[in-house]
């Protein structure tokens, strides 16, 4: 689990290069990504649900992104985008395709539905935090 | 104050942000804030994912309206961040409009990381996502090779100006072939599934998806649905590419091992 968390940290930093994240925030974004993946692993291990894991880890990412965005006066996107990446349902998309190739439509559609559910969970998490932080804010 | 330059500055700021992947409401907000500095009666900004309209009007002046068509986008969060800074300084009167305009033209072409560094980024994503998904040392080694072929494929498809769908499908296809090839002959016993998953991560539309959600929930339905569509199309392209690669490999070797 420690190795995987370190992997998440380095993966998000590598992604920062592709997305041109501002240099001074790269390490912080990596930290958010690592924390979110740790939460994902813990929730997944204790509840066995991919959706709950994606939801709670995205919730953490969204919360910390909003806080850091206010501290550093930077757009929320800078932290949010990088931190979300480990939870993105690449695994479900892959499995859905691989079971199509393996001639197993049942499992394939199971993973297709899972992809949509995980995407929905991440969307919900971002939405909740966006709404909370917008309360009482002048437009 | 030079109204015309102010409108130009506002639209340029908006254009850079929009191209670099900022949310619609952030672009509109930024343009609005800058336009309001003129102190005219009407200052309006309408932003779509493909274009910007900004207008400034007052009985004392002739209306100034600028329309800008925006093509080609690539995520560059640093530019969003820098433009945000400029607009903040401009609105707090710590910068003149002339300075802001010059600064924005600099930002428009600014790149932080060179192409080589980006290739390393692509490779790093493949390697470290494999690690993150529970891969061992041999898996990471294989992922590094797959990452290099992905970076090459991305560069080739950019150079021959392949359209987005085909480029993504082509990259994903190559990932699947390279990984399965290595698993079969070069480094047997690797977990080819998590390596493929790790390597397709740079292609998976996580950023577009995130922005799409925030746009939709902010009430910018036109751009929100357009971006969701974009994310779905990219995901389909990646799926088609990986599927084609795996199918071809299966057909060639007469059996898959995963």
pLDDT of amino acid A138: 59
Q: Is residue A23 part of a domain?
A: yes
Phi, psi (degrees; rounded to nearest 5) at B56: -130, 130
Q: Is residue A16 part of a domain?
A: yes
**Residue where the block lists tokens 């071809």:** B248
| pLDDT tens per residue across all 258 residues of chain B | 688 888 899 999 999 999 988 888 889 989 998 888 888 888 889 998 888 999 988 888 888 899 999 887 788 889 999 999 999 888 888 888 888 888 998 888 888 888 888 889 999 999 998 988 888 888 888 899 999 999 999 989 888 988 888 999 999 999 999 999 888 888 777 888 889 988 988 888 888 888 888 888 888 888 889 888 888 888 889 989 998 998 898 888 875 444
Question: What is the least distance, in Å, from the CA of B66 to any CA of chain A?
Answer: 24
Q: Is residue A42 part of a domain?
A: yes
Whether residue A20 contacts residue B113, with contact meaning beta carbons closer than 8 Å, is answered with yes
pLDDT tens figures, A40-89 = 999 999 988 899 999 999 999 999 999 999 999 888 888 888 888 888 88
Segments forming the whole domain that contains residue A107: 2-134
Q: Please give the DSSP secondary-structure letter assigned to residue B95.
A: S
> C-alpha angle with apex B228: B225 to B232, nearest 5 degrees?
135
> Dihedral of CA A19/B46/A128/A54: which sign?
negative
Q: Is residue A12 part of a domain?
A: yes
Q: Is residue A40 part of a domain?
A: yes
Count: domains in chain A:
1
For an interface test with B, the pick among A14, A16, A40, A78 (most B C-beta atoms closer than 10 Å) comes out as A14
B128–A contact, CB cutoff 8 A: yes
Q: Is residue A139 part of a domain?
A: no
Residues near B141 by beta carbon (within 8 Å), at least 6 away in sequence: B187
Burial of B115 (0-12, 13-18, 19+ CB in 10 A): exposed
Whether residue B18 contacts residue B70, with contact meaning beta carbons closer than 8 Å, is answered with yes
Q: How many inter-chain contacts (A to B, CB under 8 Å) are there? A: 161
Pair of tokens at residue B153: 């494929």
Whether residue B253 contacts residue B184, with contact meaning beta carbons closer than 8 Å, is answered with yes
pLDDT of amino acid B1: 64
CB contact under 8 A, B131 and A4: yes
Q: Is the ipTM of this complex over 0.95?
A: no
Phi, psi (degrees; rounded to nearest 5) at B96: -85, 165
């Amino acid at each position: 689990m420690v190795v995987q968390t370190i992997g998440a940290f380095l993966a998000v930093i590598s992604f920062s290069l592709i997305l041109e994240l501002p240099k001074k925030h790269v390490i912080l974004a990596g930290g958010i990504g690592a924390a979110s993946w740790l939460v994902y692993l813990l929730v997944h291990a204790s509840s066995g649900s991919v959706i709950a894991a994606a939801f709670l880890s995205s919730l953490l990412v969204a919360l910390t992104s909003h806080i850091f965005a206010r501290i550093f006066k930077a757009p929320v996107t800078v932290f949010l985008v990088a931190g979300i990446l480990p939870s993105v349902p690449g695994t479900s998309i892959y499995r859905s395709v691989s079971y199509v190739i393996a001639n197993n439509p049942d499992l394939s559609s199971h993973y297709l539905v899972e992809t949509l559910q995980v995407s929905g969970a991440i969307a919900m998490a971002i939405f909740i935090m966006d709404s909370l932080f917008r309360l009482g804010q002048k437009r | 104050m030079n109204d015309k330059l102010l409108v130009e500055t506002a639209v340029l700021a908006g254009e850079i942000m929009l191209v670099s992947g900022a949310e619609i409401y952030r672009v509109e907000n930024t343009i609005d804030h800058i336009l309001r500095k003129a102190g005219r009666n009407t200052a309006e900004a309408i932003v779509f994912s493909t274009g910007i309209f900004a207008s400034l009007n007052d009985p004392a002046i002739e209306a100034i309206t600028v329309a800008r068509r925006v093509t080609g986008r690539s995520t560059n969060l640093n530019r969003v961040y820098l433009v945000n800074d400029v607009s903040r300084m401009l609105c707090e009167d710590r910068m003149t409009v002339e300075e802001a305009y010059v600064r924005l033209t600099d930002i428009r072409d600014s790149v932080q990381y060179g192409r080589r560094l980006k290739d390393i980024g692509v490779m790093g994503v493949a390697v470290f996502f494999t690690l993150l998904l529970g891969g061992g040392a041999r898996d990471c080694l294989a992922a590094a090779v797959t990452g290099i072929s992905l970076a090459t494929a991305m560069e080739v498809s950019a150079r021959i100006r392949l359209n987005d769908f085909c480029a993504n499908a082509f990259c994903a296809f190559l990932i699947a072939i390279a990984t399965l090839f290595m698993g079969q002959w070069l480094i047997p016993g690797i977990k080819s599934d998590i390596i493929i998953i790790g390597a397709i991560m740079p292609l998976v539309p996580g950023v577009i998806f995130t922005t799409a959600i925030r746009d939709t929930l902010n009430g910018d339905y036109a751009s929100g649905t357009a971006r969701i569509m974009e994310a779905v199309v990219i995901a389909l392209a990646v799926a088609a590419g990986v599927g084609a690669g795996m199918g071809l490999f299966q057909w060639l070797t007469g059996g898959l091992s995963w």
